[in-house]
Structure 1
Amino acid sequence: MRRSFSAALLAATLIGCTSNPITGRSQLILISESQAIAQSSQAYRAELAPWAKKGKLNNDPAIQARINGITDRLITQAIRYRPETERWDWQVAVIDEPKTVNAFCLPGGRMAIYTGLIDKLHASDDELAQVMGHEIAHALANHGAEKMSVGLASDVLVGVIGAASGNNGQRNQQVGQLAALLAWQLPNSREAETEADRIGIELAARAGFDPKAAPTLWRKMIENDGSRGRFDWLSTHPAPAKRLDELAALVPQMEPLYQAAQAKPPVVQSRLAKRHEAVQPVSTTGVWERFKQGEAYLDCKDCRQQFEARLAELSRLHQGRKWEELARAVLAIGQAEDLAWYYLGAAAEGLGQPLAARRYYQLAVQLAQHQGLCATASERCGDVRLPEQAQQALRRLR
């Protein structure tokens, strides 16, 4: 088993190592940035759709204009770092959620900020620029594809260990997951956050935002009880005190850039003022085509009762190999459950769409190991054993 694990680890390293587009750091990249951007586009729309339905998306023109103005200035500098990102679909949404202190930027430049970060922290424009600059830096440095690759590598390593483990498969899968976490996620997470700190504060300074706002903003976050554990900056190493010291040490280096931008403000081209695609509920057209391409999304978070009421029907379709009927039924309900993703995976595999099947099986595994239906109420999953069967399917489709 040890030999198999080492071989898989070495193969993943040799095949997937590439250089960070900005810092030059070696990264594990098993999927391309373009693939990460395509997947993130779907995820972004699925994440925003429930907020749009509740009327909690971009509903304050003044706040939206403020965030657009700050972010447009940062995007201008981001494109100077990587000119090819001018073609990205830059968007920013303001989510009206006063209890959430958070923001994000997905691969491809799709962003969101929660009003809790603005209001609870009484954040100035300079401070908001540090947050959005940090998040944009993650996208510029290709951290999204790196994180996805970490998960893919974990699946590969777990599969190898499980195949070689005999009767100790479950225990060895747990060992493999822990080994993959220690081997990939922790070092990359520390390095990625440090990179985003450094790139983000420079983006903000070049855009004319005071770099001294970086340590003051992060100090507010630490002191705010609601932010602890929710904002990615606070949930990873290095520890907050050390990180504040590092940010403070960067301020003198950024001061000349800030002063230069103040003396001669950079020309800013607005890319956000007329963007409205993200605020619309997700369209239902082309659902079947997206399913076959591996881009189906299940965005209903309040449909579990309906999903459970139809479990017997879905099980019959699954056992009867009625693949198209099964997929259409799951898509129509829209509930994001581990079992729902497994059924989509089985349907895609049965319909001869192996790449789509792999994606749906991977989502089933991820949910089943955490908060999915089969993780919390396994008796409701009938003849399907998750995550074991999804992992077996992933090995079969390799």
Structure 2
Amino acid sequence: MTHSSAAIPDHVPAHLVVDFDPVAGPEVTEFPPSAMNAFRDSFPIFYTPYGGGFWVLTRFADIKAAFQDPETYPQQGTLNTSWTGTRHIPLRLNPPEHHAYRKMLMGMFSPRRLAQMEPLVRRVARERIRVFARSGSCELVTDYAISLPAATFCGLLGLPLSDFPVYHEISWGLVYEAERLRREQGEETAQKFRKELLGRVEATVADLIPRRRSRPGEDIISFLLKAGVFDRPLTDDEIVNIATLMFFAGTDSTAGMIAYSFAFLAKNPAHRKKIVAEPGSIPTAADELIRYHGFHHIVRDVARDVEVAGVGLKRGDRILLHTGGANHDPAEFACPGKVDLGRKPAQQLTFGTGIHRCIGAPLAKLELRVALEEFHSVLPEYRITDGDDVEYAGGQQKILPRRVPLSF
């Protein structure tokens, strides 16, 4: 991609301008999580004119510091800033408003609630594996990875699992069909498509509110109806907002973690055999696979003039925090490009850190663990289908596997 020099602000030094596309650049399409490796030694920070222009941080320490400084870098920006037209709670809120909502929502992901969800996740995993186990092949993303978070969403809302295909279709559309439309027909068409899909989720949640108000249960809508902020109950609009955010934020990220993990294990049989031989190692292995496959690239606004890695940023600039870049920084991790399934858990930034750390991270990790346990108990031997390979697709602040063709 070629950019006009007119798009570059006057305060950006020319030697720090790099033609980097975080969605479809060659460093990204080769293997998204390690895209920053091509720049880190030469550029602790650089500027790309892509998407209106932003600074890209490449080192763990600087990325972590930015995540932990919401006053300087408030949570507002995205690569495509208005794709839903909604200020999602608490994702797009900043202190002090953010604190009240997040504190209230933490109860939705308590250990007790996660324990209640695990049987459902495990049941769905087994049912999906049963569908393709005897066929000798599957497309991991469609047949398995998206299935678990879509079904989990049904469970969280107290919907019957018979509704699962609907949310499987919506999940696929939000991530992959919308990205195809963006490439082929432009951002406006993709935005319209995403909003239509999210409208279906919003309508479902809105319909559930009066039903849960009269007959509460253990689901998220019932939880939100009992909760409140600022000494008042949540409004119906707030409940719809929060529940819809949980759907689109949790589905693609969780599916992406599952897809990345199986793609790696399909290409690395020694690691796969370790998991099969030692199923008790899967929780630690999952942490390492999450580190290695950091795939979010979070965009934040710059609220005040600040210096990063010796470079002056101005109020109104934007920064990109590449979690894969942080997780592959050799200054923080020994041999970061090597997957060590026995690596002791260390702070990694796939879920972010600070006040905006992903609130659903415990549930996502549970789903990945169950996905690995159930699949390997039935299909211990598999590989990338001969003559085929993993394909990636870029979207909203993340790059995910679009296809993972497996044979077994």
Larger radius of gyration between Structure 1 and Structure 2 = 1
Fold-level match, TM-score > 0.5?
A: no
Q: TM-score range by the shorter chain?
A: under 0.3
Higher helix share: 1
* Higher strand residue share: 2
The normalised TM-score by structure 2 is 0.27
Q: Answer 1 or 2: higher relative contact order, Cα 8 Å, separation at least 6.
A: 2
